[in-house]
Amino acid sequence: MPNTIPLNVLVVDDSKLTQKKISKVLEDLGHTIVGTARTGAEAIEQYAVKNPDVVTMDITMPDMDGIEATKGIVAKFNDALIVMVTSHGQEQMVLDALKSGAKGYVLKPVQKVKLQEVLEQVIGKYMR
Amino acid sequence: MEHPQLDAKTAHVAIWKRNEEFLVNELSMELTELRHNLIPEGKFYRLRDFTAIVTLTGPAALHIAFSFDQGFMEKLFAAYAEGLDDDGEDPSLYYAEAAGDVINIVVGNATADIQVPGAALVLSPPIMIEGSNRIVRHRTSSIHMTDIRSPEGSMSIATMHLERSDSHRL
Top-confidence residue, A4 or A63: A63
**Res A3 pLDDT > 70:** no
Answer whether residue A17 shows pLDDT above 90: yes
Q: For residue B3, what pLDDT is reported?
A: 60
Query: Does the beta carbon of B124 lie under 8 angstroms from any beta carbon of chain A?
Result: yes
Task: Quote the pLDDT of residue A95.
Answer: 85
Q: Is B110 on the interface with A (CB under 8 A)?
A: yes
Q: What local confidence, expressed as pLDDT, does residue B169 receive?
A: 45
Confidence check: pLDDT of A56 > 70: yes
CA distance B115 to A105: 19
- Of the residues B111, B114, B127, the best mutation for testing chain A's interface (the one with the most A CB atoms within 10 Å of its CB) is B111
Q: What is the pLDDT of residue A101?
A: 95
Question: Which residues does A contribute to its contact with B (CB < 8 Å)?
Answer: 14-18, 20-21, 24, 60-62, 86-93, 96, 107-109
Task: Point out the least confidently predicted range of A11-20, A33-42, A83-92.
Answer: A83-92
Q: What is the pLDDT along chain B (170 residues), one digit of tens a residue?
A: 566 688 899 999 999 999 999 999 999 999 999 999 999 988 899 999 999 999 999 888 999 999 999 999 999 999 999 999 887 888 888 998 999 999 999 999 999 999 888 788 889 999 999 887 888 888 888 999 999 999 999 999 999 997 655 444 44
Check B101 against A17: CB less than 8 A apart.
Answer: yes
Instruction: Classify the C-alpha dihedral A21-A27-A29-A32 as positive or negative.
Output: positive
Interface residue B112 vs chain A (CB under 8 A): yes
What is the pLDDT at residue A4?
Answer: 67
How close A107 gets to chain B, by Cα (Å)? 8
Chain B residues with beta carbon closer than 8 angstroms to that of A108: 104-105, 108-109
Backbone angles phi, psi at A5, to 5 degrees: -110, 110
CA distance A100 to A68: 7
Closest CA to B144 of B7, B1, B4: B7
Predicted pLDDT of residue B170: 43
- Is there a contact between B120 and A93 if contact means CB atoms under 8 Å apart? yes
Is there a contact between B125 and A20 if contact means CB atoms under 8 Å apart?
Answer: no
Cβ–Cβ gap A91/B84 under 8 Å: no
Confidence at residue A62, expressed as pLDDT on a 0 to 100 scale: 82
Please provide the average confidence, as pLDDT, over all residues in chain A. 92
- The closest of A55, A49, A52 to A12, measured between CA atoms, is A55
pTM of the model: 0.89
